[in-house]
Structure 1
Amino acid sequence: MDRRVKKNQTAIMNALMHLIAEKEFDKITINDIAERADVNRGTVYSHYADKYDLLDKCIENQLIHLVEMCYSADATGPFPTKTPLLRTIQEIEKNALLYKALLSIKDVPSFRVHLSRMVSKQFMAYMTEYNVGLDDLGQSIFAQFMSSAIVGVIEWWFAQSMPCSAEELTERLWSLLEMNRIILAGSADRV
């Protein structure tokens, strides 16, 4: 990819991310994005169909960044130790304004949905790898339950003005995950 194209795309994405942290997504215009990125409207449209397409690409990039930052190459399963979960929550804490804004976007395929899918996918991989004693439907329900719970707790954390540190939130979430791991281990023993 041409360096100038990559530079423009990065500037446009960064502009949208900064604007999202400042005001509601539905009030952001292509002109706002172009002005913030220091490019013209045509440049924005040459890379993205509209602001929704740009948002989708930004969400995808944020999730890729979150995964890269938080999962080490030697990790197995979704949260085999507290470390990946802690790194995830610390990364979200470090960029709290952005993630809070992304989680609050309404009326478009939201960051919440994408984040929940990412977490659910990790739980599904874990259950498949460790052959937990649930059928496919049971695994899907469990993964959805856990991902909704984790994302819901992160939303609650933001709504409550982050009443505890990322470390404390991780400890409390980890204890809940451990309880569910015991339940899953028990279900595998019964099969």
Structure 2
Amino acid sequence: MPKVDRRILKTQEALKKAVIELMTESCFDEITIQDIADRANVNRGTIYLHYQDKYDLLDKLIESHLKELGEIDQWACQLDWIEALVPYFEYFEDNYLFFSTMLASKKEKGAPSSFRTRLLASFVEGFKGEIDRESGKNEQICEDVMLQYAGTAYVGVIEWWIRNGMPYPPQVMAKQVGTLLERSL
């Protein structure tokens, strides 16, 4: 894999940070390319060297977070639910600004509604193959129903935790949510 110039990475990170910061202040639709450039302290044309428009920038930002969550998923599959969830909640905590902004009410902050849908789809995909059919507790439940139930519950708890200022540490959340997922999946 070819190395990417550190200046390019630094610029892209500044642009991603700028768009998230601006989204905490106003609706995404109201943010202009010039606003992003000013916040990131770059020339407006620099944005177009890296992204087609502000929607492409936001999409790439979302993709990078979903990719990182997917990488955690590949590693965490080897562990029990509680141990597996700790790195997720730590990731949400470390990236609080991004997740709090993206999971904010669409009317409040203008965060694109597709983020929650994409996050849910990534968790549903991650839960595939995790349904316990051997013990008999889920033999009468359709896989699609179980996956939607578990995924929606998980995303809902993450939203609640973030919107309420993360009232419990990641390890406590992992234990609580892991116990619930063990019971249902």
Q: What corresponds to 1:52 in structure 2? A: 55
Q: What corresponds to 1:160 in structure 2? A: 164
Indicate conservation of the 8 Å contact 2:81/2:179, yes or no.
no
Superposed displacement of residue 33, structure 1: 1.0
User: Gaps (5+ residues) in structure 2?
Assistant: none
Q: What corresponds to 1:185 in structure 2? A: none
Runs of 4+ more than 4 Å apart: 130-135
Q: Does residue 123 of structure 2 align to residue 126 of structure 1?
A: no
Q: Secondary structure at the match of 2:103?
A: helix
Q: Does residue 49 of structure 2 align to residue 31 of structure 1?
A: no
With the length of structure 2 as denominator, give the TM-score of the two structures: 0.77
Pairwise CA RMSD of aligned residues?
2.9
Indicate conservation of the 8 Å contact 2:18/2:39, yes or no.
yes
Distance 1:131 1:46, change over 3 A: farther
Q: What corresponds to 1:99 in structure 2? A: 99
Aligned positions, number: 175
Superposed displacement of residue 13, structure 1: 1.9
Q: What corresponds to 2:151 in structure 1? A: 147
Alpha-carbon deviations, 1:68-120, whole Å to 9, x = none? 3x3464x437x633222111012212332321111126363432122111110
User: Gaps (5+ residues) in structure 1?
Assistant: 182-191
Which structure exhibits the higher relative contact order, with contacts defined as CA atoms closer than 8 Å and separated by 6 or more residues?
A: 2
With the length of structure 1 as denominator, give the TM-score of the two structures: 0.75
Superposed displacement of residue 2, structure 1: 5.4
Alpha-carbon deviations, 1:8-55, whole Å to 9, x = none? 333322322333344442332211111122222222123222212211
